[in-house]
Structure 1
């Protein structure tokens, strides 16, 4: 909502100054000072430009809105030099327009605790500067009350909508956690069958000698699976410090693989537990693949964090492979990386070419 409200307020401020200036220029009453009009509207135009620039580049903060009320209030306090008494009595003054836009700016951007004093300031400045008191004062007060009531209703509805969205997100997160757990259980059973039980079967049947390199490699993979299964999960509901978790993961790869870990963006990178665990788990699988197949001793992990979006890239300059030739029975990339990220609303992409290295890109949220 900040962006559309900011644009509306900028249009209101610039349009109000422009229309008031045009109305003052078209009024040919000889009883006003053209010099004072030119000076005051020059200041108002400069302020409107500054106000617009700050409001669009940043947020509508209290100092900016209070500054707008003070600038407009100062102009209203000089009405006796800018508007004739006859024009005020005829209710053809542009001062009310200027005051009305200032009230809109305050009440659409500030909560009552901060906005009410500014509303009082604007109305008081109009009354103090007007050459005569007319029904316009009651109109300004009524406008302030109506806008305040409407904004109170909108803010109340907004809070309810925010709470409904938060509850929906909590339900979605709980569903993703449960789905991720079920997927991990399925994946664990598959890995136990493909690695641990296969190694035990080979040893028990005597199909291979126990000191062969192939059996040692298979046993190492089976040990990785058992190590993952043995560790208890972190306490549910806590955020995960992604950089700390990845640093711990990098340490487990030593001494066979040296991992360069780097953050590009906004620290700290704290993620909901299911998301953090999914990214770390996918990164673990990617680094294991580097250690097993890339024939290199170094890999890089780059974390990019901007505006709530996190991406992690695991790259190596190793042997690489042809994705089209990966057998369907190899589940590491598909389940441990791609499916794992998808279950928490993220995405994963693996790119590789023979002799050109491999890059695994993890992104959350997807889109």
Structure 2
């Protein structure tokens, strides 16, 4: 539109009302500035396109006062530039069902208002048809690309869920062997007395393991799960044996945010958190821990922090499965990562991360 205004100022003024032309050009310049500002801030929406087509249609109907006959005959009129721009914009921003009627309206107004016969009208019809066809092909290709990307994401989530399921099966076998079967063997062999505090503690841990794996594995295409709600249930179950503070970034009072992730991911985060808290209770020499959860964009990060006796992660025996399998490998199978930072007498921080995509 700015180019059309500049061309109008350089146009032959024969038979043109400079007053009408100045008013029309002033309105078009103001509209071009407003159009640009709205498009940059909010995007090009249908109301903006309809208003642009209405303004251009009005200018086309006023051609006898704004455009000289000689420029129309010479096919150098700026009005054709303005009409072409409106047609392009309507076809690029709207679907054909809405863009083509607006283009037809602009063409009809040009035909009615042009002060002399011209062959340039054919150009407007060709422009409307060609641009509409091109945009239809582009949108069709875009829909196909979106479908391919969506199917790829579904396949990735299915693979992620299957990997998490296999990891849970391996962890289940390890835990059954190291805890449940070991407890039953001790009872059967009489290695410990009935009612022994140590036996009660081991039996309690074995029951927790059985409860953990009693639920069926998540479906490959399972729904999104609010991981905050799952963590609240976990923290409630840890009491009164442990004092666990759960903090969620952005949580103020009763305005609890929902942080939804795929079910396999939610299960991996909660199970890894449970294992980290069990390690605190069993090895840290403290019954207090804090769980901090936050989301940044598509990333979820959780910290399990204690101020217990700490340890040297490099000196953990390879036969110990708690950190390697129950935390690190479990998060890896769900598409995330887990890190453990600890120093003797400095406490421990377990960090779980997962990023969508």
Interval of TM-score (by shorter of Structure 1 and Structure 2): 0.7 to 0.9
Equivalent of 2:36, from 52, 67, 83? 52
Distance 1:35 1:296 in 2: 86
Aligned-residue offset at 1:135:
1.8
Partner of 1:316: 305
Aligned to 1:223: 207
Shift of 1:197: 2.6
Alignment of 1:74-85 (within 5 A): 74-85=58-69
How far apart are residue 310 of structure 1 and its match?
4.0
Ranges of 4+ aligned residues in structure 1 off by more than 6 Å: none
Measured in 1, the distance between the counterparts of 2:35 and 2:257 equals 31
Alignment size in residue pairs: 348
Matched, 1:327 2:313: no
Relative to structure 2, which stretch is displaced further, 266-275 or 118-127? Answer: 266-275
Query: For residues 243 and 96 of structure 2, what CA distance do their matches in structure 1 show?
Result: 59
Q: Does 1:72 align with 2:63?
A: no
- 1:355 matched to 2:346? The reply is yes
Q: Go from structure 1 to structure 2 and tell me whether the alpha carbon gap of 1:278 and 1:33 turns closer, same or farther (over 3 Å shift).
A: farther
SS in 2 for 1:231: coil
Aligned with residue 345 of structure 1, among 301, 310, 335 = 335
**Corresponding residue number in structure 1 for 2:233:** 248
Distance change in 2, residues 1:81/1:331 (3 Å): farther
Aligned to 2:293: 302
Structure having the higher Rg = 2
Q: How does 1:141-180 map to 2 (within 5 A)?
A: 141-180=125-164
SS of corresponding position for 2:351: strand
Q: Structure 1 residues 329, 38: closer, same or farther in 2, change over 3 A? A: farther
TM-score normalised by the chain length of structure 2: 0.82
Q: Is the 8 A contact 1:240 1:277 kept in 2?
A: no
Whether the 8 Å CA contact 2:12–2:71 is kept in 1: the answer is no
Equivalents in 2 of 1:355, 1:285: separation in Å? 20
Equivalent position of 1:115 in the other structure: 99
| Partner residue, 1:258 | 244
C-alpha contact 1:65 1:105 (8 A) present in aligned 2: yes
What's the Cα RMSD here?
A: 3.1
Structure 1 residue 185: deviation in Å? 0.6
Q: 2:352 is paired with a residue of what secondary structure?
A: strand
Long gaps (5+) in structure 1:
1-16
In the superposition, the TM-score normalised over structure 1's length comes to 0.80
Distance 1:335 1:28, change over 3 A: farther
Contact 2:57 2:109 in 1 (8 A): yes
Pairing partner for 2:262 from 249, 262, 272: 272
Contact 1:33 1:81 in 2 (8 A): yes
- Alpha-carbon distance between aligned partners in 2 of 1:359 and 1:48, rounded to the nearest angstrom: 56
Using a 3 Å threshold, how does the CA distance of structure 1 residues 287 and 97 change in structure 2: closer, same or farther?
farther
Task: Identify if the C-alpha distance between structure 1 residues 208 and 42 changes in structure 2 by more than 3 Å, giving closer, same or farther.
Answer: farther
Contact 1:247 1:261 in 2 (8 A): no
Answer yes or no: is the 8 Å Cα contact 1:96–1:136 preserved in 2: yes
CA drift of 1:93 comes to 1.5
Q: Distance in 2 between matches of 1:231 and 1:172?
A: 24
Please state whether the residue corresponding to 1:163 is helix, strand or coil.
Answer: helix
| Pair 1:79–1:263, CA change in 2 (3 A) | farther
Q: What is the distance in 1 between the residues matched to 2:107 and 2:257?
A: 46
Whether the 8 Å contact between 2:5 and 2:28 is mirrored in structure 1 is no
349 and 264 in structure 1: CA distance in 2 versus 1, 3 angstrom threshold? farther
Give unpaired runs (5+ residues) of structure 2: none
Distance change >3 Å, CA 356–CA 182, structure 1 → 2:
closer
Residue aligned with 2:323, SS: helix
